[in-house]
Amino acid sequence: MALSSGVSAIRRVAIFGGTHGNELSGVFLVKHWLKHPGEIARPGVEVRPFITNPKAVEKCVRYIDTDLNRVFDSQSLRQNSAKVPYEIAQAQEINSIFGPRGSNDAYDVILDLHNTTSNMGATLILENSKDDFTIQMFHFIQKSLAPVPCSVLLIEHPKLKYATTRSIAKHAVGIEVGPQPQGVIRADILEKMRRILIHALDFMHHFNEGKEFPPCSIEVFKILEQTSYPRNKDGEPSAVIHPNLQDRDWTALNPGDPMFITMGGEVIPYQGENTVYPTFVNEAAYYEKDLAFVTTQKTTISAESLHCKSA
């Protein structure tokens, strides 16, 4: 007989928009739901829309001083808030409202809304491959969205994992939808994000009402490593993403396949030993991080059957 995971009822959910101030689908949706909360209301659940980085949203920039989505580590959250960059002070405020991180008082779920300039389509970001509740939620969302594809990026990596804004919740959910330019709203991308969010809330409602979810498996793309741009002796990029790779997130990159191309037409191939699946290909926000794309490995993870153990 399959094991069953009993999880307490979901009572407090936050929807974060504007963690990056120029990713406007989340900003637009959160502002809409702050004024018109009916669509996200669910019986017995506090659903709180929240603009996480208001100064960056006001200026329509990714951040003011530092990336808000990287500063929810213990050291940053403990710093003297009178002497820190704006985003660290904001992180401390968010942690006090929705956390504290790692405590029983933390919100049950945080849904953190992001856009990417990469051709990633609908993407769910998973931080913990052992979190049966979130895996079951992702499985439900994928089935509800079908036939529209919805990829799952697993960022469980000892060196590449970072302390995200959503990580203060018991169950952290990243929602990444693209392609969309920074500072722009596209109706198709906005609607796709909206549907993902509504399906997530529907799952939580069904769960709270006593629906049992049988064991499931989902395909995920597990992050492997970051790939930088080739650079010349002056430290400047010497090549760009090859056309065969551009806009082909989640597509197999095999040894020998074109990866970069120089202005002189020289093709730089992928020289790894195994097939990988790139994502965040040519993401605009990652130029400052010298990141051309992230490689992933396709794998399958499973969750036990799930039921609500308390009303």
Q: What is the pLDDT of residues 126-174, one digit of tens each?
A: 999 999 999 999 999 999 999 999 999 999 876 667 789 999 999 999 9
Return d(Cα 106, Cα 96) in angstroms, integer.
9
DSSP 159: T
Answer whether 178's CB lies under 8 Å from 117's CB: yes
Q: Is the peptide bond before 179 cis (omega within 30 degrees of 0)?
A: yes
Q: What's residue 82's pLDDT? A: 75
Q: What's residue 1's pLDDT? A: 35
Q: What's residue 4's pLDDT? A: 54
Return d(Cα 250, Cα 109) in angstroms, integer.
27
Pairing of strands 46-51, 150-154: unpaired
Give the mean pLDDT of the chain. Answer: 94
Q: Is the dihedral of CA 156, 162, 166, 168 positive or negative?
A: positive
3-state secondary structure at position 17: strand
DSSP 200: H
Helix, strand and coil content of the chain, in percent to the nearest 5, comes to 30, 30, 40
- Tens of pLDDT, residue by residue over 241-284, are 999 999 999 999 999 999 999 999 999 999 999 999 999 999 99
Top-confidence range, 236-240, 256-260, 286-290: 256-260
Return d(Cα 254, Cα 294) in angstroms, integer.
14
pLDDT value at 107 more than 70: yes
Return d(Cα 103, Cα 99) in angstroms, integer.
7
Q: What's residue 162's pLDDT? A: 78
From residue 304, how far is each of 69, 127, 132, 202 by CA, in Å?
30, 17, 6, 20
- Tens of pLDDT, residue by residue over 49-103, are 999 999 999 999 999 999 999 999 989 998 886 788 999 999 999 999 998 988 9
What angle do helix axes 187-208 and 132-145 make, rounded to 10 degrees? 130
Would you name the residues annotated as active-site residues?
Answer: 176
Q: Domains of the chain by range and CATH?
A: 4-220+301-308 (3.40.630.10)
